[in-house]
Structure 1
């Protein structure tokens, strides 16, 4: 019975937050079209209100740990669900995301992503996509901000394994910025598929930066080790065993 009630609450929550996205997108549209600050304000408003709704409607509390970067950095984040995007975006001053190109053509999200300076990537062209990504990022960083990239390239369910891609290392080398790894357990409560949202503490943890100058292979090994180790710790902290998730 309790599970059925939580499922219904989750369904209502999902309807509310996507309707709210559309409403905010329309309300802020005149401001956002003429001002990047307007687009940023709209997206910050959406992130904060969604986290508030998550706590009130489905019992998900959000917590940020570690030192949140405010300077120009590459943020390499574990990606388990839409929730970790929201928490990270709310925490940093001016986030710009590496995102799949298809999202540019979605209602509301596409227009605001362009205004924020997000970088679209054609994931089907591999090497060419990475080269273009570095060029586009270098051009976009004429304005300050924090560049968020997901090293595994997509959402990965808690406990699942997926390799870290070279694109993050290429950006780290090409930009010469520190790289801040980010761990999370958000997918335990807000899974990447389905309706059900589970109550609990969703955590995003900003870890110690990897300073410029580390070789590509060593960088990727260190990045994967710190993100996966800390994400597993955060999942165990809330009672989820990542080692037994797919056994």
Structure 2
């Protein structure tokens, strides 16, 4: 039954995605904020399909902790789910993402319309300069800059591999940073089509005020995200009847 429901969801999910790629074509003619609203509708319909077909609910807590206006959002990244779920949480979000995604027909054009911030990973230190300038401009217009500090999806419980890009942004933007923890990888495993029924938990943490020294912030943001994510993973494992993390896995996933 799990395989059947997962297969049905994946068919429905990608059919819905193709439908929205068509629906969003007129979005090029409307203001960006209206376009973002349309993208949020895609995110909500995707979450609805996930709940109805796969039996996977998404519980989001801590919305009241989101400060108004511009901010840096540092989120755990375990699955594809958060790439559209986070859009529904924030008022005017945009993403830090690799430049190559902007080259994909239609999808990349929509990313450009949403004024996402591309990163040219081959540009070395200049990439940080360009990324920061674009992100600062968007944040000063009241937007929430979403970054996955580890740079890629990580399996649940894997040792954290945070990159200094998030600390560089925090230091140069001058806006609060909102850590976001989750256990999505248990229910939507990366590189697998299985979607497990249960409750994905996404938890917005207390924001970190601007002005901390770089190293202090870098350690704090990891601690906030990892401690909360590990707690949510433990809750998810209990719900799914999975074995708890081994002592070696737990020790590896702790922030040094």
1:122 to 120, 123, 129: 120
Cα RMSD (Å):
1.9
Structure 2 partner of 1:187: 185
Deviation (angstroms), 1:101: 1.1
Deviations, residues 129-150 of structure 1 (Å, cap 9, x unaligned): 1121112212334532111011
Gaps of 5+ in 2: 251-256
The superposition leaves residues 186-237 of structure 1 with CA deviations (integer Å, 9 ceiling, x where unpaired) of 1110012111111111011110111111001110001111100100000101
Alignment counterpart, residue 220 of structure 1, candidates 213, 218, 221: 218
Q: Deviations over 1:140-176 (max 9, x none)?
A: 3453211101111111110111321111111111110
Structure 1 runs, 4 residues or longer, greater than 6 Å off: none
The residue aligned with 1:149 is 147
Matched, 1:8 2:4: yes
8 Å Cα contact 1:181/1:206 also seen in 2: yes
- Aligned equivalent of 2:43, options 39, 43, 47: 47
Instruction: Check conservation: 2:65, 2:206, Cα contact below 8 A.
Output: no
Cα distance in 1, alignment partners of residues 177 and 124 from structure 2: 22
Which residue matches 2:254? none
Q: TM-score, normalised by structure 1?
A: 0.92
Q: Name the CA distance, whole Å, in 2 between partners of 1:55 and 1:134.
A: 37
8 Å CA contact retained: 1:68, 1:91: no
Q: Which of 108, 111, 119 does residue 110 from structure 1 map onto?
A: 108
Equivalent residues, number:
243
Match in the other structure for 1:162: 160
Pairwise mapping of residues 73-112 of structure 1 onto structure 2 (< 5 A)? 73-112=71-110
Offset from partner CA, 1:39-89 (integer Å, 9 cap, x none) = 212211110001110011111100111135242110000011111222211
Q: Which moves more between the two structures, 27-36 or 205-214?
A: 27-36
Structure 1 residue 128, shift from structure 2 partner:
2.3
Change in Cα spacing, 1:139 to 1:82, as seen in structure 2 (3 Å) is: same
CA distance in 1, matches of 2:248, 2:120: 31
For residues 108 and 242 of structure 1, the distance between their equivalents in structure 2, rounded to whole angstroms, comes to 41
2:169 is equivalent to residue 171 of structure 1: yes
Cα pair distance change 1:243/1:181, threshold 3 Å: farther
Contact 1:64–1:87 at 8 Å: present in 2 too? Answer: no
